[in-house]
Every structure is written in C-alpha cells, then in structure tokens.
C-alpha cells in the first residue's frame, strides 16, 4: 500500500491536484485507514496508466472517464475469457472438440 505523498513523489509527472481530482471523480479508489489514503498496487498501476493517458497522450479530463471505462470493459472481458478457457480446458476431449466445432464449423481437425 502506498500513501498519497509517496505516489506523487514516485511518479514525476503526477500533479497532486490531478490525483485529488481523479479521486473525486472516482477514477481511482484509495482505501482510507486512520485518516490516510492508501493505494493498492493495482490502484498505483491505474494511476500510472492515467498519467500516461493524460500527460503523454494528452487525453483531456473530460475524455479520461470514457477511455478508462473502455479499458475496464476490456479487462473484464479478458478475465471472462480466461475463466471460459479454463472451463473448456477442464472438459473432456469430446466436449472440447464440440466447442471448437461450434466456434469454427469449417475447422478441420
């Protein structure tokens, strides 16, 4: 877990006012412990991504929520596909073959 001042110090381009705005807009969600805001490793990575989008790619504050929503949707879809892949892999060969055939009827085994 990382405190606000630590993350601001660690990411050179990050402005404290921008981080405060991103917290206010719920683009990042720190945990609060004993009155201090703490960021998990995942939230720190999200802050780094937002910094890249905002400072390097110059995506403005109004577009950031839209871009992050799309990234979140892609991440969720990826997680669902990984779960589906594991479920298919746990099936017998006949079930796997039937699934592959349904996905791509022209596939030759």
Residues 21 and 47 placed together within one structural domain of the fold:
yes
Q: Which of 35, 60, 85 marks a domain boundary? A: 60
For the chain, the domain total comes to 2
Task: Supply the pLDDT for residue 41.
Answer: 95
- Please choose, from the candidates 42, 12, 18, 10, the residue with its C-alpha nearest in 3D space to the C-alpha of residue 29: 42
Residues 89 and 54 placed together within one structural domain of the fold:
no
Task: Supply the pLDDT for residue 109.
Answer: 56
Residues 11 and 31 placed together within one structural domain of the fold:
yes
The number of angstroms, rounded, from the C-alpha of 84 to the middle of its chain's C-alpha atoms is: 19
- Greatest Cα pair distance, the chain, in angstroms, is 62
Residues 73 and 38 placed together within one structural domain of the fold:
no
Residues 48 and 85 placed together within one structural domain of the fold:
no
Single pTM value for the model: 0.78
Task: Supply the pLDDT for residue 62.
Answer: 93
- Range 9-38 burial, b when 16+ CB lie within 10 A, else e: eebeebeeebbeebbeeebbebeeeeeebb
Domain carrying residue 106? 62-109
Which regions of the chain are under pLDDT 70? 108-109
Instruction: Give strand pairing partners of 39.
Output: 2
Task: Supply the pLDDT for residue 108.
Answer: 61
Task: Supply the pLDDT for residue 72.
Answer: 95
């Amino acid at each position: 877990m990382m405190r606000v001042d630590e993350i601001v110090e660690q990411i050179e381009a990050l402005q404290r006012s921008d981080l405060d705005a991103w917290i206010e807009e719920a683009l990042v969600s720190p945990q609060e412990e004993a009155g201090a805001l703490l960021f998990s490793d995942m939230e720190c990575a999200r802050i780094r991504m937002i910094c890249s989008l905002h400072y390097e790619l110059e995506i403005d504050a109004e577009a950031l929520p839209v871009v992050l929503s799309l990234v979140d949707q892609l991440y969720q879809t990826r997680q669902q596909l990984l779960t589906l892949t594991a479920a298919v892999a746990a099936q017998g060969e006949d079930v796997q073959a039937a699934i592959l055939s349904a996905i791509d009827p022209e596939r030759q085994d």
